[in-house]
Amino acid sequence: MDKRRLGRTDLLVSRICLGSMTWGQQNTEAEGHAQMDLAFSRGVNFIDTAELYPIPPKAETQGRTEKIIGSWMKANGNRDQVILASKVVGRTANAWFRGDRPSKLVRADIFDAVEKSLAKLGTDYIDLYQIHWPERDIPWGANPNRVGAVPRRADAVGALAGETPIAETLSVFDELVKAGKIRHFGLSNESSWGVMRFIAEADKGVGPRVVSVQNAYNLVNRGFEVNLAEVCEREQISLLPYSPLAQGYLTGKYDHGARPQGSRSQLFNRGQRYETPNAAEVQFEYNELARSFGMEPALFANAYVASRPFVTSNIVGATAIWQLEMALSSVDVTWTEEMQKAVDAIHQRVGNPCP
């Protein structure tokens, strides 16, 4: 599998990054190991996880995913072959991450998160350590042209009481890099303003320069292209898109309101991000477009994301091996001009219906 440079670093990551948020909830340890075995046999060298995982977040399951990855690396003795990404939670009232208090992006909480993740992963360093979401009060992935949904408004953005300054947070990551606990620093669920502020502080010498941003990107949410694409291109920051299948809504399994037994939507009722007004009709249109090209909707949706020139590594997830096989094969699809024109024609009419 082709490799691409991560930001300005010397790390070369596979075009597919293996997501892990189902391991420890929907998937057992053995199933997680099987997914990693398959992905690495196909040339993947990049795994993304988080202290939060598995999803949905719960006190009794939090941290299981990192333990599963750690046990796999220990069993295979292959830590040096894995580019490992994890995340610290942003501001949250949930006390169970830190054990006795809500969490913020301050030194004590970030160090607590790193040390716990290192222990669970069974390693002494993390290649890419990311802020899972900003401490600032901003909507995740909001964009200016969501059809039928309330768009982000100026009065929806403002400083929270006691908000940790970006410079203060970044200085903690500087300590972590110098201590050898992390190699590189990344962001997730960030805005253009946030990315540029982190860059500005790094340019002042406050801390490490951001190398990547992990935001949702898929056929029904191309909001990244509005502003962040230019930021990332000019500043040499890698996009690591998550949710290429829009939480499964671009696989066709939810077409016509279906909710298959055992699906995430049926199990957890957490699909509201992809259940906005008009979303179902648009998702079905893209799924039908995939079928018109003789492709499974999931393969088509992943191939679209993998084909974008601003994507460094597409984060895919699966609960079944056959689903992962399909996701891995998306990098072998030849994305044609005809496909792109057909996708853009729909997008021109409907915009980005999902945040």
Spatial contact of 186 and 128, defined as CB atoms under 8 Å apart:
yes
**Residue 35 to residues 25, 61, 215, 219, 347, Cα–Cα distance (Å):** 15, 20, 23, 25, 33
Please choose, from the candidates 83, 118, 73, the residue with its C-alpha nearest in 3D space to the C-alpha of residue 11.
83
Q: Is the dihedral of CA 32, 35, 39, 40 positive or negative?
A: positive
The question of whether 242 is a catalytic residue gets the answer: no
**DSSP codes joined into one string, 60-88:** TTTTHHHHHHHHHHHHHT-GGG-EEEEEE
Catalytic residue (one of 53, 254, 286, 304): 53
Which residues, including other chains, have CB under 8 Å from residue 27's CB and lie 6 or more apart? 35, 319
**DSSP codes joined into one string, 138-153:** --TT--TTBTTSPPP-
Complete edge-to-edge strand list for the sheet that includes strand 210-214: 238-239, 210-214, 182-188, 126-131, 83-88, 46-48, 16-19, 314-316
Give the integer Cα–Cα distance in Å for 30 and 141: 33
Which residues, including other chains, have CB under 8 Å from residue 198's CB and lie 6 or more apart? 166, 170, 187, 210
* Catalytic residue IDs: 53
